[in-house]
Every structure is written in C-alpha cells, then in structure tokens.
C-alpha cells in the first residue's frame, strides 16, 4: 500500500517535470497573461505577479528540485557509504575517530550547516547540491559502518578470511552486496530530506536565480502576495510536500518489503 502510493507520487512528480517541455502551455519565464489572475481554464494554477503561468513554472520547477536532490543524494551516498564501509572494516582508532566526527556532524542541524556552506559557495544549482550532499554524509556513514561491522563478524566472512581471500575480495564480494538493500532504502528516504533541504535553500535564494523557476524560490516570491495571490503561494508548496512524501513512502515501503525497517 505504502509502496504503491509512493511509486505513484514519485512517478507523477518525475513525469510531470521530465515532460515539462511537452506539457507546459507557456514559457515559464515569460509573461503569459494578466498579473495575479486566479486559476481558470487558460491558467490552471493562475498567474503570478508578473503574469507568468504558475502551472508552467511548477512543471519546470520540478526539474530543478529533483535534479538537485538526486545529485546531492548521489554525492552523499558515494562519500558516506565508502567512508562508512572503510571505517567499519578497518576498525580501531581510525574508526573511532571517524565515527566521532560523523556523530558530531549528525547531531548538528543539517540545514544550518547547508546554509553556511551554500552562503560561502554562492548561489548555483551545483553549489546547492554540494551543500546538501555534504550535510547528509553522516547518514550513510552510520548505516554503512554499522552494517559492515555486523557482516564482518559473520561466519562466511570468517570463512573467506580463513581461505586466504584478499581484502578487496572480502570487501567487494562478501560485504558490499549485503549492504546494498539498506543503501537503497536509506537513499530513497534521504531523497525526501534532500528535497526539503533544497526547498529551504531555494526559499532563501541559494539555488537558482530568478526568473528560473524553483518551488522554494517561487514560494518565497509569493509570500508578499498572500492576500491577493494565494493560489501562487499554495501550488509550489504543495508540490514540495507531494515530492517529499512520495520519496519517503517509497523508501519506507521498500524497507518494509525487504524487512529492513520496523513497522510503523
């Protein structure tokens, strides 16, 4: 059930934004009608203060948030997973030190760190993806480290060591495959967090520059028109929620299926 709803929501958002050039009735950055006209047959979601079509902006804005979130997740998964597996495998002092650094970072509010990083790097989609990617490294590190330590002490690894298998073979043939299911679950749920952080950075103006559409950025532009442009405010925000909900349902649904997470 969760999995199905998750798949449906993710497909909806991904397809709408991927097919934006074909579906969007207007150019998202150009005037398409009167300013602040309410939703109607010509503008499904109304227009913004500059007369741009909100529906077209929502479609194109999806490309930005999904692109940045996926890139960020890829980055943090690659870095965190590798480090975690390494740390869990070698153990000892190196492991204790790395673990302490990651635990400290994990305790710190990720958004505040992302704001700090984004503010020194300057606003751009790539920088935003980097900032988001860095703050979620500890999430993958913890998962990979803990699971590596469990798998490392299992009998089949001991057997491989006894048979004289080289280290790289133990890591890549015996440990890594056992971590993949967890990685998929954690990464899918993490896309939801990355999307929320992306929206926050966009809301503060650290992702794209106007007139490029981005849901978080559009939400912050719409704030000043809360009294006479509520439709403009509600649609990009609702899509942020739908996207994040879709990915977290998908992740939890997958986790349940693989027996990786406790129910509820």
Partner 1 sequence: MSLLRYVALRAALAVPTLLILLTVVFFVLRVIPGNPIVAMVGMKAPPEYVEQLIKEAGLDKPLHEQYLDYLAQVFTGNLGRSLIFGKRDVAAEIMDRLPATAELAVAAFLVSIALGHVFGFLAARYGGKIDLTARVYAMVTYVLFIPFIGLALQLVFSVWLGIFPVAGRVTPGLEPPRITGLYLLDSLLSGRLNSFADALWHLALPSFTLGLVLSGVFVRLIRNNMVKTLGEDFVSAYRAMGFPERNVLWKAYRVAIVPTVTMMGLQLALLLQGAVLTETTFSWPGLGTLLLERIQYLDYTTVQGTVVVFVLIVVFMNVAVDVINALLDPRVRRGL
Binding site for partner 1 (CB under 8 A): 100-101, 103-113, 115-117, 119-121, 192, 196, 199-200, 203-204, 216, 219-220, 223, 226-227, 230, 233-234, 237-238, 240-241, 244-245, 248-249, 252, 262, 264
Least Å distance, CB 58 to partner 1, is 13
Q: How far is the CB of 21 from partner 1 (least distance, A)?
A: 26
Shortest distance in whole angstroms from residue 247 CB to partner 1: 9
Which pair of tokens denotes residue 125? 């989609």
Closest CB to partner 1 among residues 42, 228: 228
**Count of CA atoms in the C-beta half-sphere (13 A) of 84:** 27
Q: How far is the CB of 138 from partner 1 (least distance, A)?
A: 11
Residue number, 113 or 160, with CB nearest to partner 1: 113
CB of 8 to partner 1, least distance (A): 15
Decide: 2 and 252 in contact? Cβ < 8 Å. Answer: yes
Backbone angles phi and psi of 47, in degrees to 5: -125, 165
Residue nearer to partner 1 on the CB measure, 63 or 235: 235
Of residues 68, 194, 208, 60, the one with CA closest to residue 124: 208
CA dihedral 118→11→8→141, nearest 10 degrees, is: -40
DSSP reduced 3-state for 45: coil
Closer by beta carbon to partner 1, 44 or else 204 = 204
CA–CA distance, 39 with 43 (Å, rounded to integer)? 6
Minimum CB separation of residue 43 from partner 1 in Å reads 20
Q: Which is nearer to partner 1, 14 or 238 (CB)?
A: 238
Question: Encoding tokens for residue 31?
Answer: 């005037």
Residue with tokens 């406790």: 262
Contacts of 84 (CB under 8 A, 6+ apart): 102, 140, 141, 142, 143, 144, 145, 148
Cβ count within 10 A of residue 72: 27
Nearer to partner 1, 125 or 216 (CB): 216
């Amino acid at each position: 059930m969760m999995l199905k709803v998750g798949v449906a929501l993710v497909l909806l958002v991904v397809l709408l934004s991927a097919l934006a050039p074909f579906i969007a009735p207007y150019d998202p950055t150009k005037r398409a009608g009167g300013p602040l006209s309410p939703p109607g047959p010509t503008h499904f979601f109304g227009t913004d203060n500059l007369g741009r079509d909100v529906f077209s902006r929502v479609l194109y804005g999806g490309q930005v948030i999904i692109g940045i979130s996926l890139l960020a997740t890829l980055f943090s998964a690659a870095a965190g997973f590798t480090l975690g597996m390494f740390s869990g495998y070698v153990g000892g002092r190196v492991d204790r030190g790395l673990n302490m650094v990651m635990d400290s970072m994990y305790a710190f509010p990720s958004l505040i760190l992302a704001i700090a990083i984004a503010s020194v790097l300057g606003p751009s989609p790539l920088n935003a993806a980097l900032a988001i990617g860095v703050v979620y490294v500890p999430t993958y590190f913890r998962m990979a480290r803990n699971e590596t330590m469990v798998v490392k002490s299992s009998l089949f690894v001991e057997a491989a060591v006894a048979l004289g298998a080289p280290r790289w073979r133990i890591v890549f043939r015996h440990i890594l495959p056992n971590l993949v299911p967890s990685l998929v679950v954690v990464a899918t749920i993490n896309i939801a967090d990355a999307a929320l952080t992306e929206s926050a950075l966009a809301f503060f103006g650290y992702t794209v520059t106007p007139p490029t559409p981005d849901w978080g950025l559009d939400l912050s532009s719409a704030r000043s028109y809360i009294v006479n442009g509520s439709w403009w405010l509600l649609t990009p925000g609702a899509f942020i929620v739908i996207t994040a909900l879709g990915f977290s349902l998908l992740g939890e649904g997958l986790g349940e299926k693989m027996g990786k997470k406790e129910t509820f």
